[in-house]
């Protein structure tokens, strides 16, 4: 296979934010072009002793429609009022009911601060099999002043009326002098458009923390 030397005089690649290099119509030309996708901030909600934090389509500029194929919820320093698991549920009736059937699997890794104990395993107690209740995203978060959870929920084409709705989530938090890292994946078994997502603790309130919603163009 022959190697061709790049003609640097053919470059049209002035550094520009949110661009990448791509080939142009020239035989050996490169130019700056769009990257093909950007995360757009839609809305950010701050919890303050909140029993739930809800993102509902059509409410204060929240968008769950075909504007975006992918959505990302970012969790920043979610702190519970009592030791509890962070969770979510879905609605197909604009938040009147959060009871969409979900099938999921969860596994997690942990490591003690002292290095004395660690492990990795499937958490069948957090899995759902056509469950309509909340989906827990990991183990209970600690309640020390510096304990919190951060991570994300990646949600795919909730407006589809053809396919079920897939999701993946990764969270990291601390509890009882352990670092926990949990992974959750599954699908909402509905072909109706999902138009609301609600977050809560499995018991007690979300004492503080911020959840921000982004859409991928």
Q: What is the mean pLDDT of residues 180-202?
A: 97
Beta strands in 26-148 (DSSP E): 30-34, 39-50, 53-56, 70-80, 86-91, 102-112, 118-122, 129-131, 135-136
Q: What is the pLDDT of residue 20?
A: 56
Confidence of residue 67 (pLDDT cuts 50, 70, 90): confident
Instruction: Indicate the pTM of the whole model.
Output: 0.82
Domain range annotation of the chain = 7-36, 39-216
Q: Degrees (nearest 5) of the Cα angle 33, 36, 39?
A: 120
Question: pLDDT tens across 30-60, in order?
Answer: 565 555 579 999 999 999 999 999 999 987 7
Q: What is the 3-state secondary structure (H, E, C) of 116-184?
A: CCEEEEECHHHCCEEECCCEECCCCECCCCCCCEEEEEEEECCCCCCCCEEEEEEEEEEECCEEEEEEE
Instruction: Please state, for a pLDDT cut of 70, what percent of the chain lies above it.
Output: 82
Query: 8-22, 91-105, 175-189: which range is least confident on average?
Result: 8-22
Question: pLDDT tens across 97-145, in order?
Answer: 999 999 999 999 999 999 999 999 999 999 999 999 999 999 999 999 9
Q: Degrees (nearest 5) of the Cα angle 10, 16, 17?
A: 150
Q: What is the pLDDT of residue 13?
A: 52
CA distance 19 to 32: 6
* Assigned architecture for domain 39-216: Sandwich (2.60)
Confidence of residue 17 (pLDDT cuts 50, 70, 90): low
């Amino acid at each position: 296979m022959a190697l061709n030397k790049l003609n640097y005089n053919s470059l049209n690649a002035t550094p520009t934010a949110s661009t990448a290099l791509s080939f142009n119509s020239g035989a050996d030309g490169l130019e700056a072009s769009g990257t093909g996708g950007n995360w757009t901030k839609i809305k950010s909600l701050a919890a303050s002793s909140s029993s739930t934090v809800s993102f509902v389509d059509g409410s204060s500029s929240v968008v769950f429609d075909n504007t975006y194929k992918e959505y990302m919820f970012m969790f920043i320093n979610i702190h519970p009022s009592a030791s509890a698991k962070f969770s979510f549920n879905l609605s197909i009736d604009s938040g009147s009911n959060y009871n969409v059937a979900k099938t999921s699997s969860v596994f997690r890794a942990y490591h003690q601060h002292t290095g004395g104990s660690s492990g990795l395993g499937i958490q069948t107690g957090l899995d759902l099999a056509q469950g309509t209740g909340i989906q827990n995203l990991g183990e209970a978060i600690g309640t020390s002043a510096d304990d919190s959870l951060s991570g994300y929920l990646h949600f795919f084409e909730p407006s589809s009326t053809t396919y079920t709705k897939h999701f993946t989530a990764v969270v990291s938090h601390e509890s009882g002098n352990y670092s926990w890292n949990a992974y959750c994946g599954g699908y909402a078994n509905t072909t109706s458009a999902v138009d609301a997502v609600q977050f809560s603790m499995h018991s007690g309130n979300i004492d503080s923390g911020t959840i921000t919603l982004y859409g991928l163009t």
